[in-house]
A and B are shown apart, each in its own frame.
Chain A
Amino acid sequence: DTEVTQTPKHLVMGMTNKKSLKCEQHMGHRAMYWYKQKAKKPPELMFVYSYEKLSINESVPSRFSPECPNSSLLNLHLHALQPEDSALYLCASSHGAGQAQETQYFGPGTRLLVL
């Protein structure tokens, strides 16, 4: 199983809503990532979890709150988002061994629209 799954596929939310994005992998990977991608732009790293601990936070606003309940699951909690936060949110995972070449496996993403 080399699949990373993400739910939901699409999400529309108002600026006062609270919602969560979910990501799951069963490849035994110990590193998991959240990226944000705007149209026609490269993915931008938001957070990295390594062995269920937050290892990188790319100065992401606190209205985005990541959570890693276990080694297979990664959540992104959303609260009081702004319209400019509308984007494709990608989850990825990798072995986490810290090698120079470590392929990242991406999920299909959640397309988020903030009204």
Chain B
Amino acid sequence: GQSLEQPSEVTAVEGAIVQINCTYQTSGFYGLSWYQQHDGGAPTFLSYNALDGLEETGRFSSFLSRSDSYGYLLLQELQMKDSASYFCAGKDGGATNKLIFGTGTLLAVQP
């Protein structure tokens, strides 16, 4: 099985850069995904890392280090609308369609 740990809350100001960390323990690794969920809304896919390194998608980047069992989501030029919960997620290798979500990080962007 897998477990993915994240900080529970992060606070930052508009225009700043923030990093949300995810450490995982897994018996098999099939990549790390990131999802965003606004309060009362549906989780939406942000990014995926299969291999070590940085993936960039606009203001959002995601990094993975498999040797350290660690990844992070980097949000640049923060906007108020980025206030949301962010979840890392990994696949359970024993069950191909099973996605395990991290504990989640609530990001509060302040003016």
Closest to A102 in B: B97
Which size class do B's interface residues fall under?
A: 20 to 34
Given A40, A96, A105, A108, which contacts B45 in the complex, CB threshold below 8 Å? A105
User: Could you tell me the distance between the alpha carbons of A92 and B103 in the complex, rounded to whole angstroms?
Assistant: 19
Also in contact, A31 and B97, with CB within 8 A (given A42-B87, A100-B91): yes
User: Could you tell me the distance between the alpha carbons of A96 and B97 in the complex, rounded to whole angstroms?
Assistant: 7
Please indicate the chain B residues that have their CB under 8 angstroms from the CB of A41 in the complex.
104
Interface locus among B36-44, B65-73, B74-82: B36-44
Number of A interface residues in the complex (CB < 8 A)? 28
A48 touches B98 (CB 8 A): yes
A40 touches B98 (CB 8 A): no
Please indicate the chain B residues that have their CB under 8 angstroms from the CB of A55 in the complex.
95, 97
User: Could you tell me the distance between the alpha carbons of A56 and B41 in the complex, rounded to whole angstroms?
Assistant: 25
User: Could you tell me the distance between the alpha carbons of A90 and B35 in the complex, rounded to whole angstroms?
Assistant: 14
B45 touches A104 (CB 8 A): yes
User: Could you tell me the distance between the alpha carbons of A91 and B110 in the complex, rounded to whole angstroms?
Assistant: 32
Cβ contacts B75-111/A at 8 Å (1 or 0 each): 0000000000001000100011111111110100000
Please indicate the chain A residues that have their CB under 8 angstroms from the CB of B63 in the complex.
none
Closest to B49 in A: A101
Q: Which residues of B contact A (CB under 8 A)?
A: 30-31, 33, 41-45, 48, 50, 87, 91, 95-104, 106
Listed by A's residue number, 7 A-B pairs whose Cβ atoms lie within 8 Å are A48-B97, A55-B95, A98-B96, A100-B50, A102-B91, A102-B97, A108-B41
Q: Which residues of A contact B (CB under 8 A)?
A: 4, 31, 33, 40-45, 48, 50, 55-56, 90, 92, 94, 96, 98, 100-109
- Beyond A98-B97, A109-B42: 8 further Cβ-contacts under 8 Å? A42-B104, A45-B100, A50-B97, A100-B50, A101-B30, A101-B31, A104-B45, A105-B45
